[in-house]
Amino acid sequence: MWDRIIEYLKDPLLVVKVQNFFGVIYKKSNQTNETSIVQSDRQEAAEEIDLKQHKRFPSDTSGTSQSSCDTDTSSETQEEVLCHVNNKFWYYLFVLGTALGDEIFYATFIPFWFWNIDGAVGRRVVLVWTIVMYIGQGFKDIIRWPRPGYPVKKLQEKWAIEYGMPSTHAMVGVSIPFSVLLYTMDRYQYPVHWGLVVAVAWCTLICVSRVYLGMHSVLDIAAGLILASGLLMVLIPLVDRFDHFMLMSKWCIPLVVIPVSILVIVFYPQSDKWTPTRGDTTMIVSVCAGILTGSWCNYQLGNMVASTQEPPYEIQGLSLDMFGCLLLRTSLGFCGVVATRALAKSVSYAFVCALLGRDKNELRHSANTLQNWNKIVVECSYKYFTYGLIGFNTTYVFPNVFDLLKINRPTYYTEI
């Protein structure tokens, strides 16, 4: 019974049905005509395309579809099936939804939260997000299940070369909004039921977007949701306690956080092919290490003092002066993040290449393979340094600059 359920949820035709429901029209193309092949039930679709005669293609051979799907040259077999986005509203909505699990979202949401909302909640959410993502990314390279194959058309090229089980986008859709909800519900006075509605809508949008774009099967999404939900129940109380210990211990960062962050990157599960998963995981882990290090420095240097008030705190209205300071903090901070990334990436990449005795331009244009150890070492090293520095600047350097400019949040150094 369970085998049948798993096969059904893994079936590419189920992904096609979801796409068709939201206006992605599939067509069967040959030299003389085009005929629609996707109907509302499996039997009619199977009559148009005999799946038994075709293999399920892995992601790295089917990830070159254009967003309109009107042309595709990834393989001879796949040229027989075309598709067209008939409803642009759903397409752009789900592209936006999938961006909630992208690097651009992390790079904007996390700094904005620290500078303008709550640093104590931010530290906990980032640590939960990092652990959940590391486990999810590791499982991908251990399980090694390909993304949906034929006849599914991928409406997005990014991440197509990675394995698909479990969906880390689904895990992000659980870990970030629900950890924010759980860490703020007793800390601030606000209608929790509306927070729950936002978290559920956030998670649903991300999950449906991954199926709609053809990047995950329904089984990938379900596995990601279940895994992340189980991890969240364990991590929420543990991370809350660790945060207090981390801030107050003089040796936690140099002896625990930094060494562990390096070790988990070095001993990341080995895949059978090169994928960007390891580099992305390095970025996530280093951001977390940098953020925790910056917060630890603030506390150890005496900048942070516990608030005299007891939670739950009342949410203050946004005055014109506060809004102006928010815009200044956000604008200056993001300019600093961009500058940090550009400078740190250039310097660290050149430095590591020099240590290995390799030409940086030659190495940058060399092939991405598991045998190219020099490129893997350089990539992980420069990402760890670059994004770790961005995380450190986010919680230590930039807030101190805001303090000098008299535009910092009054409660920033009381959020313990």
- Which residues are known to be catalytic? 169, 216
Q: How far is CA 167 from the centre of its chain?
A: 10
Q: Angle at Cα 92 formed by Cα 87 and Cα 98, nearest 5°? A: 125
Of 185, 121, 104, the closest CA to residue 395 belongs to 121
In angstroms, the CA 168 to CA 238 distance is 21
Tokens found for residue 183 = 């860490």
Q: How far is CA 140 from the centre of its chain?
A: 14
DSSP 258: H
Q: Angle at Cα 68 formed by Cα 170 and Cα 153, nearest 5°? A: 55
180, 199 Cβ separation under 8 angstroms: yes
179, 128 Cβ separation under 8 angstroms: yes
Q: How far is CA 324 from the centre of its chain?
A: 30
**Residues facing residue 189 across a β-bridge:** 314
Pairing of strands 313-314, 24-29: unpaired
In angstroms, the CA 161 to CA 294 distance is 34
In angstroms, the CA 410 to CA 325 distance is 11
Tokens found for residue 245 = 């210990």
287, 126 Cβ separation under 8 angstroms: yes
Using a CB cutoff of 8 Å and minimum separation of 24, what contacts does 307-310 make? Answer: 307/411, 307/414, 307/415, 307/416
Amino acid identity of residue 386, one-letter, is T
Tokens found for residue 175 = 């870990």
What is the per-residue burial (b if ≥16 Cβ within 10 Å, else e) of 251-281? ebbeeebbeebbebbeebeebeebbebbbbb
Residues 6 or more apart whose CB falls under 8 angstroms from that of 130 comprise: 284, 285, 287, 288
In angstroms, the CA 364 to CA 217 distance is 34
